[in-house]
Amino acid sequence: MYTLRTLPGDDVRQIMWRFADRFDLQMSIQSARSIARSVVAKLVAEGARNTHEWTEQKDELLTAFDQSGLTAVFMDPHQGGFIEGPKNLALALIAFELAWVDAGAATSSLASCLALAPIHEKGTTEQRDKYMSACVPPQPGEDREIWRGAFALTEPLPYIGVDTGVLCGKATVSDWTDGEEPMLQIDKRGRFITNMDFANFVTAAVESNDDRIKGTFMVILEEGDEGIFDRGAPTLKMVHQLSSTRDPIMNLKVPASRIIGGYDVVDGVIVPKYNHSEIIGSVFHRTRIPVGLMTSAKLISAIEPVIRYHRNRFRGGDACKEGSPRFDKGIQSNEDALQRLIDVWASGEAGCSLAFAASRLADQFDPIEKAKEAEFENQGITSPRKQMMALRKMKDQVFELIDLEYTPEADRNQARYQELKNDTLVSYAYMEALAGVLNPGVKLWNTGEGANKMREAVALVGGYGITEDCPGFLMQKWTDTQLEATYEGPEAVQRRHLTMTMTSEVFLHTLDAWIKQMKAAGSNVPGLGGYALASAMELWKFTLNYLQSAKDENGKKLYHNKRQGVTFAVADALGWLLGPYYLATDVMELIEKGPMSPTLAEGIDDLTGFYKDVCHVQAARAAGEVSRICTDLVYGFNECNGECSRDDLKEFVELKAKVDMCMAGSRLAKDRAGNALSEVMIPEALDYPIG
Ligand SMILES: Cc1cc2nc3c(=O)[nH]c(=O)nc-3n(C[C@H](O)[C@H](O)[C@H](O)COP(=O)(O)OP(=O)(O)OC[C@H]3O[C@@H](n4cnc5c(N)ncnc54)[C@H](O)[C@@H]3O)c2cc1C
C-alpha cells in the first residue's frame, strides 16, 4: 500500500517525458504556463468564447504569445528563434501547457507554425529564411509588422476534405516573358481556415489548369499580392473559440518563385519540385502530434478540479459536521467516483506518454530524414520507388538495429549498435516505420478515445459539469475534443494511414521487440501490467497475420484496403496498445531515475507504486479492448457452425486465454490507485480563475 502525497509536478514530468536536461524547454514551459493560467484563463472566464468573431479581447492572446517568446519557438536562432535543432518536443510541451486551460488557445499558438510547416519542410532556403524571419516578433529597434500565416488545404464542398485528391484551387500562367520569372494566377477558396482573420500570408494547395504547369503544388500567397485576398465569412463553429477560423476567397497574381520548394522548367513546362501530397504528407507527419496531445493534456488537467469538487461537495451544510467522513471525503467516499477518475487519469497519462514519445522521435527523425535525402541524392537515387527498394535491401541491418535498440545497454554490443545507428539509411528505415505508426496513432487514439474519456470527466462533476462555469472549464474542454479529433484529418484519415503503415515488416519487427520488452517488464517490474500488454500485442499480431490471409464466408479476402470494416478495426486495436506501452516505458524511467532526484527520492516508492498501478489499469483496459476487437474480427466473418469450435483457431484461443489470465491484479491496482486519490493533497484553490 502507498499514499500519493501530491499531484505529480514538473520534477516527475521532466523524468518521464525525458527533458530534465533541456533548460531551453523548461523555460518555454514556464512561459506557456504563465500565459495559459493568466491571459487564456481570463479570456475563457470572461466569456470571450461566446462569439465566433475574432475580437480585440482575443487578440490579446497573440500579443501574449509574441511577448513571451512562444511565437518564436518554431524558428531557428539565425531566423530569430532561440531553440537550436528540431522543435517538435518544444511545440508539444507548449501545446500541453496551453491546452491545460484551453485547446483553442493552443491551436492559435500552433496555427502559424502549421502555415510555415510546408515552407519549413520543403521550402527553398530563401523561402524558409524569408517567412520564418518575418514571423518572429520585431526585436527592439526594428520597425516592422509581425507576419502570421494560415494553411489552406481544405476547400468548399464538394472539394478537399478527408479526400485531398480532388482540388478546386487552380493555377494558370498569367504572364511569362522570355528569360523572366513566370507570373501565376492562383484561384483558391478555403473552408475552415485557421488564423484567417489576421493572416498576412497563406500556404495554399492548388492544381494546374494550364498545360504550361505540371500537376499539383503548394504556393505562398501574400496579403499584398495583386488581386482578391478576401478573408471570407467566419466559421460558425461551436468549439475552439479562442482560435480564428474563416472561409477565405483568394484570386491572386504571384511570381512562380512562390511555389513551395521551387520548380524546374522542362520543355517549356513549369515542373514544381514537390506535389501537394508530398508536402502535406511531410507536414502532417509532425503537426498531428501536438493536436493529439491537447486532448490528453485536458484529461490530466481535469483531475484536480474533480478531486476538489468531490471533496468539498457537502461542506458548509448543517448536516455535515467537520471531521465526519462526509465532510472530509465528500463524494470521494464512494469507490466509483475515485475509480472512474483513475480511468480518466490513466487515459491522459497514456496519451501523453505516447505523444511525447512521438515528438521525441520526430526530433530525432528530422535530421535523419534530411541526411537520407542528401545520401540518396549523392547516390543518384531520387525516385521514391527506387529509394524504397534500396531501403528494403537493408532489412537485415534494420532488424539488427531494432534488436539492439531494445536490448538493455549492459547486454548489447555497443560498438555494433552505434555503427548501425550512425548508418543514415538503416536508422531512417527504422524511424520512418515507427513514426508511420506513432503519428497517426497519437491523433487517432488520443483524440478519439480522449473525447469519450473527457465526457466521463464532465460526468463526475454532475450538473455543474455541463455549465459554463464548471471548475477547470471541463464542458468547453469536452466539446473542444471533437475538433481535435477532426482537424488535420479526422479519425478515418488516421485509420487509413495506419492501414498502410502497421503492416510494415520493420514495424512488426519492432512490435516483436516490444513484446519481449514487456514480458521482461512483467517479471522485473511486477505490477506494471507488462504481461497484459505483451499478451495483447501477441494477440493483435496473430489477428493481423490471420486476417491477411483469411477469407469471409463468401470467399472474399478480409484484409483489403477497401474493407475498412476490417482494417480500421485493426488500426483501432493497435491504437489502444501504443499509449500504455509508452506509459510503461516512462514509468520504468521514473523507477530508474526518480531516486536520483533530490525532490522525489524520499517518497519515490509511493510515487512509482501509484504510477505502476495507473499503468496497469490502462494496460488491462487496452488488453480488454484489443481482445474484444480481435475476437470480433476473427470469428465475425463466418456463420456459426453450431459446434463452438474452430480447429484452425487453436492458437488464437490460447493467446486470448492468456490475455484473460494476464488481467490478474489489474483490479487490485485500480482499488489502490483510487484509494490514493482520496488522500492526495491538492492546493487550496485552482491554479487559474474560474469565473
Ligand atoms: C475549426 C476548424 C479549423 C480548421 N482549420 C483548418 C486549416 O487551418 N486548414 C485546413 O486546410 N483545414 C482546416 N480545417 C478543415 C479540417 O481539416 C477538415 O474539416 C477535416 O480534414 C475533414 O474534412 P471534411 O470536414 O471535409 O470532412 P469530410 O471529408 O466530409 O468527411 C466527413 C466524415 O466522413 C467520413 N469519411 C470521409 N471520407 C472517408 C473515407 N475515405 N473513409 C472512411 N470514412 C470517410 C469520416 O467519418 C469523416 O470524418 C479546419 C476545420 C475546422 C472545423
Give 247-274 pLDDT, tens digit per residue: 999 999 999 999 999 999 999 999 999 9
Could you count the other beta carbons within 10 Å of the beta carbon of residue 250? 22
Ligand 1: distance of its center to the CA of 556 in Å?
31
Which residue, 532, 517, 522, 546, is CA-closest to 660? 532
237 lines ligand 1 (CB under 6 A): yes
Residue nearest to atom 27 of ligand 1 (CA): 161
Residue nearest to atom 44 of ligand 1 (CA): 492
| Helix and strand totals (H; E) in the chain | 25, 10
What is the C-alpha to C-alpha distance for residues 273 and 655, in angstroms, rounded to an integer?
49
Q: Is 430 left (phi over 0), alpha (psi -120 to 50) or beta?
A: alpha
**Cell triple for residue 674?**
483510487
For residue 486, the SS3 value is coil
Q: Is 192 left (phi over 0), alpha (psi -120 to 50) or beta?
A: left
Q: Are 54 and 196 in contact (CB under 8 A)?
A: no
Alpha helices by DSSP H, 123-174: 125-134
Q: What is the pLDDT of residue 139?
A: 87
What is the C-alpha to C-alpha distance for residues 262 and 127, in angstroms, rounded to an integer?
9
Residues in a beta bridge with 251: 187, 228
What is the C-alpha to C-alpha distance for residues 215 and 234, in angstroms, rounded to an integer?
31
> DSSP code of 648?
G
Cα separations (Å) of 280 from 92, 205, 218, 436, 505?
Answer: 19, 9, 9, 14, 25
Ligand 1: distance of its center to the CA of 481 in Å?
14
**Cell triple for residue 553?**
464466408
Q: Are 507 and 434 in contact (CB under 8 A)?
A: yes
462 lines ligand 1 (CB under 6 A): no
161 lines ligand 1 (CB under 6 A): yes
Q: What are phi and psi of 274, to 5 degrees?
A: -125, 135
What is the C-alpha to C-alpha distance for residues 452 and 458, in angstroms, rounded to an integer?
10
What is the C-alpha to C-alpha distance for residues 340 and 608, in angstroms, rounded to an integer?
20
What is the block-wise mean pLDDT of the chain (691 residues), using blocks of 10 residues?
94 97 95 96 95 96 96 93 94 98 97 95 95 94 94 96 93 95 98 98 98 98 98 97 98 98 97 96 92 98 97 88 90 97 98 98 96 94 90 96 96 97 97 97 98 98 93 96 97 97 98 98 97 98 97 95 96 98 98 96 96 98 98 95 86 98 98 97 82 49
Residues in a beta bridge with 222: 201
Residue nearest to atom 26 of ligand 1 (CA): 161
Ligand 1: distance of its center to the CA of 271 in Å?
29
Place of cell 484484409: 559
Residue nearest to atom 40 of ligand 1 (CA): 492
Residues in a beta bridge with 265: 270
Q: What is the pLDDT of residue 65?
A: 97
**Cell triple for residue 416?**
555494433
What is the C-alpha to C-alpha distance for residues 632 and 573, in angstroms, rounded to an integer?
11
Residue nearest to atom 50 of ligand 1 (CA): 192
Which residue, 461, 568, 572, 581, is CA-closest to 511? 581
Residues in a beta bridge with 228: 251
Q: What is the pLDDT of residue 690?
A: 60
What is the C-alpha to C-alpha distance for residues 65 and 106, in angstroms, rounded to an integer?
10
Ligand 1: distance of its center to the CA of 247 in Å?
14
Residues written for the chain: 691
Q: What does the angle CA 290 – CA 294 – CA 297 come to, to the nearest 5 degrees?
A: 125
Cα separations (Å) of 583 from 54, 612, 661?
Answer: 38, 9, 21
Report how far Cα 358 is from the mean position of its chain's Cα atoms. 8
Report how far Cα 644 is from the mean position of its chain's Cα atoms. 42
Residues in a beta bridge with 119: none
Residues in a beta bridge with 271: 264
**Cell triple for residue 265?**
522548367
The ligand 1 atom at the shortest distance from the C-alpha of residue 568 is: 43
Cα separations (Å) of 496 from 444, 542, 570?
Answer: 10, 20, 11
Cα separations (Å) of 680 from 6, 311, 323, 488?
Answer: 5, 11, 17, 38
Q: What are phi and psi of 220, to 5 degrees?
A: -100, 125
193 lines ligand 1 (CB under 6 A): yes
420: Cβ contacts below 8 Å, ≥ 6 apart: 397, 400, 401, 404, 426, 427
For residue 264, the SS3 value is strand
Place of cell 522542362: 266
162 lines ligand 1 (CB under 6 A): yes
The ligand 1 atom at the shortest distance from the C-alpha of residue 240 is: 1
Residues in a beta bridge with 252: 186, 227
Ligand 1: distance of its center to the CA of 375 in Å?
36
Q: What is the pLDDT of residue 688?
A: 79
Ligand 1: distance of its center to the CA of 17 in Å?
31
Ligand 1: distance of its center to the CA of 324 in Å?
52
Q: What does the angle CA 82 – CA 85 – CA 91 come to, to the nearest 5 degrees?
A: 70
Amino acid at 463: G
Q: What are phi and psi of 250, to 5 degrees?
A: -130, 130
Long-range contacts of 324-328 (CB under 8 A, 24+ apart): none
Q: Are 527 and 568 in contact (CB under 8 A)?
A: no
Ligand 1: distance of its center to the CA of 488 in Å?
7
What is the C-alpha to C-alpha distance for residues 358 and 349, in angstroms, rounded to an integer?
14
153 lines ligand 1 (CB under 6 A): yes
